[in-house]
Amino acid sequence: MLRFIGRRLLIAIPTLFLVITVAFFMMRAAPGSPFDGERKLSPEIEANVMAKYGMDRPLHEQYAAYLVGVVQGDLGPSLKYKDKSVLQILQENYRVSLTLGLSAIILATIIGVSLGVLAALRQNQTTDYVVMTIAILGVCIPTFVTAPVLVLVIASKLGWLPSAGWNGGALPNLILPIVVLTLPQVAIISRLTRAGMVEVLRSNYIRTARAKGLPENRIVRRHALRAAILPLVSYLGPAAAGLITGSLVVEKIFNLPGLGKFFVISALQRDYTVVMGMVIFYAALILILNLIADLLQAALDPRVRLS
């Protein structure tokens, strides 16, 4: 177990290193600089600013200095937001993204698993077809379609919910963004659950349970469901990646002050350090979630060996 974690961390570190390296040099290869403003800075001032952030040194030296900083937990200052460090910016903005992402994944799991189980139990009946149609629609209607359509209908025409803004995290402001993020996940989770459930219900130990005369309810809950939702665990990593991608769209449309919105703006403004910080943050997040998924899988399924 510990050896497994150790080995995975040994892979994770070069991965992060690769992420940092590629992102660093890609960002620096981009034309333009963070100090291109509306007014052109005079060459002397620009040289001063560059020197202040150490950007007058050769690129490889900056790269080395940046790596040393990262190892010490220092992601550097923002180049656009004066007096703020990248860590501060991450701290100030992660809450919005975290609230949305967590709510969406929890909701999607509850709804998706219920729908998937329902569909599997009523295989090839109307319920099954309805659920699977919902699942197909959920996969085929992208977030950047559901978000504006919901805003148009529910916020603008009907006026039931606010169309944008964070408003300190008030519930009415949260509903639409969470719904938009949840829908595609519900689709995928219900499909995975249904597939797992259908397979498990056919297996021998379920037949044994039935032969013992256990009530159907108990068979489904205690015996089948446990095995059927195992594939969901390994979906944790991809789900997080999907939510992060979705949050880029949702935070833009609903004008929410989250990390996703920050990322695109910072990349366009060439705020090197902020972009780097976010790439590292998200890469680390996905690596950790994948590790947790593997550990959970092994803990829940005795057939899986950590090697």
Partner 1 sequence: MTGTILTPGSRVGAETMEKAARGRSLWDDARRRLMRNKAAVGGMIVLGLLVLAAIIGPYFTPYAYDQINKDHVWAPPMTQGHLLGADSLGRDLLARLLTGLRVSLAIGLVATTVSLIIGVAWGAIAGYVGGRIDEIMMRIVDVLYSLPFIFFVILLMVTFGSNIILIFVAIGAVEWLTMSRIVRGQTLSLKHKEFVEAARAAGLGDGGIIAKHIIPNLLGPVVVYVTLTIPAVILAESFLSFLGLGVQPPMASLGTLIANGAQDMELAWWLLVFPSLTMVVTLMSFNFIGDGLRDAIDPKDR
The answer to the question of residue 142 lying near partner 1 (CB under 8 A) is yes
Q: Least distance (Å) from partner 1 to the CB of residue 303?
A: 19
Q: Which of 1, 2, 10, 29 binds partner 1 (CB under 8 A)?
A: 29
Query: CA nearest 178: which of 95, 261, 256, 104?
Result: 104
Q: CB nearer to partner 1: give 26 or 51.
A: 26
Query: CA nearest 93: which of 78, 107, 72?
Result: 78
Q: CB nearer to partner 1: give 27 or 214.
A: 27
The answer to the question of residue 30 lying near partner 1 (CB under 8 A) is yes
Q: Least distance (Å) from partner 1 to the CB of residue 14?
A: 7
The answer to the question of residue 11 lying near partner 1 (CB under 8 A) is yes
The answer to the question of residue 10 lying near partner 1 (CB under 8 A) is no
Q: CB nearer to partner 1: give 10 or 211.
A: 10
The answer to the question of residue 292 lying near partner 1 (CB under 8 A) is no
The answer to the question of residue 9 lying near partner 1 (CB under 8 A) is no
Q: Least distance (Å) from partner 1 to the CB of residue 119?
A: 15
Q: Least distance (Å) from partner 1 to the CB of residue 270?
A: 8
| Burial (CB count <10 Å: 0-12, 13-18, 19+), residue 13 | exposed
Give buried/exposed letters for 37-47 (b at 16+ CB in 10 A, else e).
Answer: eeeeeeeeebe
The answer to the question of residue 165 lying near partner 1 (CB under 8 A) is no
Q: CB nearer to partner 1: give 112 or 237.
A: 237
The answer to the question of residue 145 lying near partner 1 (CB under 8 A) is yes
Q: Which of 9, 65, 102, 264 binds partner 1 (CB under 8 A)?
A: 264
Give the chain as a DSSP string. -HHHHHHHHHHHHHHHHHHHHHHHHHHHHSSS-TT--SSPPPHHHHHHHHHHTTTTS-HHHHHHHHHHHHHTT---B-SSSTT-BHHHHHHHHHHHHHHHHHHHHHHHHHHHHHHHHHHHHTTTSHHHHHHHHHHHHHHHS-HHHHHHHHIIIIIIIS--S-SS--GGG-HHHHHHHHHHHHHHHHHHHHHHHHHHHHHHHTSHHHHHHHHTT--HHHIIIIIIHHHHTHHHHTTHHHHHHHHHHHHHHHHHHTT--SHHHHHHHHHHTT-HHHHHHHHHHHHHHHHHHHHHHHHHHHHH-TT----
The answer to the question of residue 200 lying near partner 1 (CB under 8 A) is no
**Pattern 97-136, partner 1, x by CB under 8 A:** ---------------------------------------x
Q: Which of 245, 255, 292, 300 binds partner 1 (CB under 8 A)?
A: 245
Q: Which one of 34-42, 44-52, 62-70, 286-294 is the stretch in contact with partner 1 (CB under 8 A)?
A: 286-294
Q: CB nearer to partner 1: give 139 or 299.
A: 139
Name the site residues for partner 1 (rule: CB under 8 A).
11-12, 14-15, 18-19, 22-23, 26-27, 29-31, 136-137, 139-142, 144-145, 147-149, 151-152, 156, 237, 241, 244-245, 248-249, 252-253, 263-264, 267-268, 275, 278-279, 282-283, 286-287, 290
